[in-house]
């Protein structure tokens, strides 16, 4: 019987495991970096052990320190969560060698599936459908497009889609460098790329007594940078034969490596319904809640029981019911190449949580600082309903009504994605991994400002609420003296920028009833009620309320966010023409070969790569010219706005 579990992880998954441990009566131990010293998962654990440093390589990826922490805290078992060391066979062995229970599959199974190329060789002849492999030096134009993939790891790292044969060598080198930096293994391979493929996976659960369950399918086709954004169970639109083929193949994979515990076998399904094996994730998946919702199981509890030696019921898993959909809420800006965002998260509140089959798993709480070191996911929001249509509608509405006060997020993108016909109409056959490649521009385009709940009305509500907040005694004074003035009240104004960079100017006046929109600037709009935290506007006979919150110069009204502009603009910092400024905080992980001061570059040419929140971001030359300054080196951390390099155009092109 396990008495105390250390979770070798952080954030949302650590809290998720702790929740089950509390329900089972098991004590919990957290580990944490310096950056996570006050994190929610640390506060919730019964004991916590610091791992000095903030970078993952110094903390959560140090297996020796994690094992030492478990022994020091008196834990008798280790749960790896997902990411970090969860699929590291050496770490699993170290846990067992220390006399601790490993809540995961056997190290040999992890090792067998660690390399995608080795796994495919192992599965040859088992009946598992495998994709063809291509020798990189033999790829022809007719083979394009192809996908370059890292043999180790996951999460989209070391993956490149190549559509031009001339670009293949460069993309192979870039993928090898990224894979080596991320996983310590630069091995990559090439396979055909399916433009309209679906990413479908099967959850498996196996005990140590020979029983293997296939817990249905999940669809994870909506992805950005080869990382999942929306997942659902069961995978919609599959016929019974294909579903059976996938489940049988997943069980065959698990049996081939004598798997125990929870794992996921992933497939790519072509638009003709032909499946091929992608990989096996020898751990719990981020999207496991949708399977839990459909089958009524706690997969973490099952992991613990299997680690204790319990057997799964021989009669098979419980029957599946209904449909579940999960959306990952990220601190990132989809309209700006998915750039991660940092800053204070003042509030995260999603209505309906805990009731009506709506679940939120999050690693952050109100007031937490979103930093640069870890994944930018704020929360997973999961909705269950008897039908897919009802689950999707419920999830979209919950996200739309959520209060997300802090960095820019992908919330609006998620809502629009869930309501897009290519997602809702599965029968049309347009639900595939190319969804965002086709629709990102329309999904991130600004909505009409003059819509009843659009930015135009929201910014008006923000300005009126701020006016009341800044002059709390003014309405009472007007009422006391009758509101009489010798001259009409002159309009006042406030200026804001929204997330798209659009400037909004709001004009308002004070009168007998308090503050109101200036009629000429806002025709047909009337303020029904104005408080510092809530404003009700009426337009065309329809009233709508806007909750308003102010944090510094950031103002949140309804689902819109604005940056208030000072009445007197501050002088801009002196920056040399041609300066490349960091658009996000991060660490310089690579500088392109041949890039140094004096190098000639072309517009759009990659100069260097920044890593932030587990993703690499290219910094491109803005124009043809010469690199006259290079102010960074590999390993340097930079903040937003830091000058990375200066590219000076040719003298003939200089005004």
DSSP letters, 579-595, are EEE-SS-EEEEEE-TT-
> Which fold does the domain 579-653 belong to in CATH?
OB fold (Dihydrolipoamide Acetyltransferase, E2P) (2.40.50)
C-alpha torsion 295→298→303→305, nearest 10: -100
For residues 436 and 85, what is the distance between their CA atoms, to the nearest angstrom?
A: 30
3-state secondary structure of 508: strand
Q: What are 129-160's pLDDT values in tens digits? A: 998 888 888 898 888 889 898 888 776 788 88
Q: Is the pLDDT of residue 476 over 80?
A: no
Question: What share of the chain in percent tops pLDDT 70?
Answer: 94
Return the minimum-mean-pLDDT range out of 51-65, 102-116, 288-302, 562-576.
562-576
Q: What are 283-296's pLDDT values in tens digits? A: 999 999 999 999 99
At residue 235, the pLDDT reads: 98
Distance (Å) of CA 516 to CA 483, 494, 531, 536: 14, 13, 12, 11
Distance (Å) of CA 389 to CA 264, 327, 360, 523: 26, 15, 20, 39
Residue extent(s) of CATH 3.30.470.20 domains in the chain? 198-444
Pair of tokens at residue 241: 């034969």
Residue environment code for 281-291, b if the CB has 16+ CB neighbours within 10 A, otherwise e: bbbbbbbbbbb
Q: Is the pLDDT of residue 477 over 70?
A: no
DSSP string over 22-40: HHHT-EEEEEE-GGGTT-H
The residues facing 50 across adjacent strands are 32
For residues 153 and 117, what is the distance between their CA atoms, to the nearest angstrom?
A: 12
496 by Cβ neighbours in 10 Å (0-12 / 13-18 / 19+) ranks as buried
Residue extent(s) of CATH 2.40.50.100 domains in the chain? 579-653
Instruction: Give 538's DSSP letter.
Output: E
At residue 502, the pLDDT reads: 86
At residue 391, the pLDDT reads: 97
For residues 133 and 143, what is the distance between their CA atoms, to the nearest angstrom?
A: 11
Q: Is the pLDDT of residue 482 over 50?
A: no
Q: Where does the pLDDT of residue 472 fall: very low under 50, low under 70, confident under 90, or very high at 90 and above?
A: low
43 by Cβ neighbours in 10 Å (0-12 / 13-18 / 19+) ranks as exposed
- Comparing 638 with 218, the larger pLDDT belongs to 218
Report the chain's terminal Cα–Cα distance, integer Å: 77
CB of 51 closer than 8 Å to CB of 58: yes
At residue 221, the pLDDT reads: 97
Provide the H-helix boundaries in 115-239. 116-123, 168-183
Number of other residues whose CB lies within 10 A of the CB of residue 192? 18
Return the minimum-mean-pLDDT range out of 142-151, 204-213, 481-490.
481-490
Provide the H-helix boundaries in 357-503. 388-401, 411-419, 421-424, 435-444, 455-470, 474-480
pTM here is 0.86
128-192: CATH, from 3.30.70.890, 3.40.50.720, 3.40.50.1370, 3.30.1490.20: 3.30.1490.20
Q: What are 423-464's pLDDT values in tens digits? A: 999 998 899 999 999 999 999 998 887 787 889 999 999 999
Is the sign of the CA dihedral 556, 560, 561, 565 positive or negative? negative
- How open is the CA angle 607-228-437, to the nearest 5 degrees? 60
In the CATH scheme, what is the code of domain 4-103? 3.40.50.20
For residues 633 and 650, what is the distance between their CA atoms, to the nearest angstrom?
A: 25
In the CATH scheme, what is the code of domain 198-444? 3.30.470.20
Provide the H-helix boundaries in 141-270. 168-183, 240-256
At residue 277, the pLDDT reads: 96
Residue extent(s) of CATH 3.30.1490.20 domains in the chain? 128-192
Residue extent(s) of CATH 3.30.700 domains in the chain? 455-564
455-564: CATH, from 3.30.70, 3.30.460, 3.30.700, 3.40.50: 3.30.700
At residue 256, the pLDDT reads: 97
Residue extent(s) of CATH 3.40.50.20 domains in the chain? 4-103
Mean pLDDT of the chain: 91
Q: What are 395-426's pLDDT values in tens digits? A: 999 999 999 999 999 999 999 999 999 999 99
């Amino acid at each position: 019987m396990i008495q105390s579990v250390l979770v070798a992880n952080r954030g949302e998954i650590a809290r998720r495991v702790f929740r089950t441990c509390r329900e089972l009566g098991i004590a919990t131990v957290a580990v944490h970096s310096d950056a996570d010293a006050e994190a929610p998962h640390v506060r919730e654990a019964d004991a916590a052990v610091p791992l000095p440093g903030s970078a993952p390589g110094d903390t959560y990826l140090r297996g020796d320190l994690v094992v030492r922490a478990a022994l020091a805290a008196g834990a008798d078992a280790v749960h790896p969560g997902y990411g970090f060391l969860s699929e590291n066979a050496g770490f699993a062995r170290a846990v067992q060698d220390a006399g601790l229970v490993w809540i995961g599959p056997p190290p040999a199974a992890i090792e067998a599936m660690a390399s995608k190329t080795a796994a495919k060789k192992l599965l040859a002849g088992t009946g598992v459908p495998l994709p063809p492999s291509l020798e990189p030096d033999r790829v022809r134009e007719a083979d394009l497009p192809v996908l370059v993939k890292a043999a180790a790891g996951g999460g989209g790292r070391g993956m490149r889609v190549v559509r031009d044969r001339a670009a293949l060598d460069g993309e192979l080198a870039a993928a090898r460098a990224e894979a080596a930096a991320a996983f310590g293994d630069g091995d990559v391979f090439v396979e055909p790329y399916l433009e309209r493929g679906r990413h479908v996976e099967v959850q498996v659960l196996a005990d140590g007594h020979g029983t293997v369950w296939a817990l249905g399918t999940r669809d994870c086709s909506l992805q950005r940078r080869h990382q999942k954004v929306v997942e659902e169970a069961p995978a919609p639109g599959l016929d019974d034969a294909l579903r059976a083929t996938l489940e049988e193949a997943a069980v065959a994979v698990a049996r081939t490596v004598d798997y125990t515990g929870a794992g996921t076998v992933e497939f790519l399904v072509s638009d003709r319904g032909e499946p091929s094996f992608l990989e096996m994730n020898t751990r719990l998946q981020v999207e496991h809640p949708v399977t839990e919702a459909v089958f009524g199981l706690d997969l973490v509890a099952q992991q613990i029981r299997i680690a204790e030696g319990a057997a799964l019921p021989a009669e098979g898993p419980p029957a599946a019911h209904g449909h579940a959909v999960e959306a990952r809420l990220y601190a990132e800006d989809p309209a700006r190449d998915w750039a991660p965002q940092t800053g204070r998260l003042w509030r995260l509140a999603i209505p309906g949580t805990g009731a009506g089959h709506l679940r939120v798993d999050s690693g952050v709480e109100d007031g937490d600082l979103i930093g640069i070191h870890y994944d930018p996911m704020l929360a997973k929001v999961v909705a269950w309903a008897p039908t897919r249509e009802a689950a999707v509608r419920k999830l979209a509405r919950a996200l739309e009504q959520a209060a997300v006060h802090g960095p820019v997020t992908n919330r609006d993108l998620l809502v629009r994605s869930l309501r897009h016909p290519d997602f809702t109409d599965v029968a049309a056959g347009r639900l595939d991994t190319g969804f965002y490649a086709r629709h990102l521009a329309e999904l991130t385009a600004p909505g009409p400002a003059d819509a009843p709940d659009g930015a135009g009305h929201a910014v008006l509500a923000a300005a009126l609420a701020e006016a009341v907040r800044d002059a709390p005694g003014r309405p009472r004074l007007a009422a006391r003296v009758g509101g009489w003035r010798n001259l009409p009240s002159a309009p006042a104004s406030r200026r804001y920028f929204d997330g798209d960079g659009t400037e909004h100017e709001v004009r308002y006046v004070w009168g007998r009833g308090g503050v109101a929109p200036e009629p000429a600037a806002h025709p047909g709009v009337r303020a029904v009620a104005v408080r510092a935290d809530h404003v009700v506007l009426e337009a065309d006979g329809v009233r709508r309320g806007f909750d308003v919150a102010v944090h510094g110069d950031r103002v949140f009204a309804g689902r819109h966010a604005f940056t208030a502009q000072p009445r007197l603009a501050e002088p801009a910092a002196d920056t040399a023409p041609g300066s490349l400024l960091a658009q996000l905080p991060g660490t310089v992980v690579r500088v392109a070969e041949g890039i140094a001061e004096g190098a000639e570059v072309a517009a759009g040419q990659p100069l260097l790569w920044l890593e932030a929140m587990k993703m690499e971001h290219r910094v491109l030359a803005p124009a043809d010219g010469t690199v006259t300054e290079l102010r960074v080196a590999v390993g340097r951390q930079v903040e937003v706005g830091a000058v990375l390099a200066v590219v000076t155009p040719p003298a003939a092109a200089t005004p």
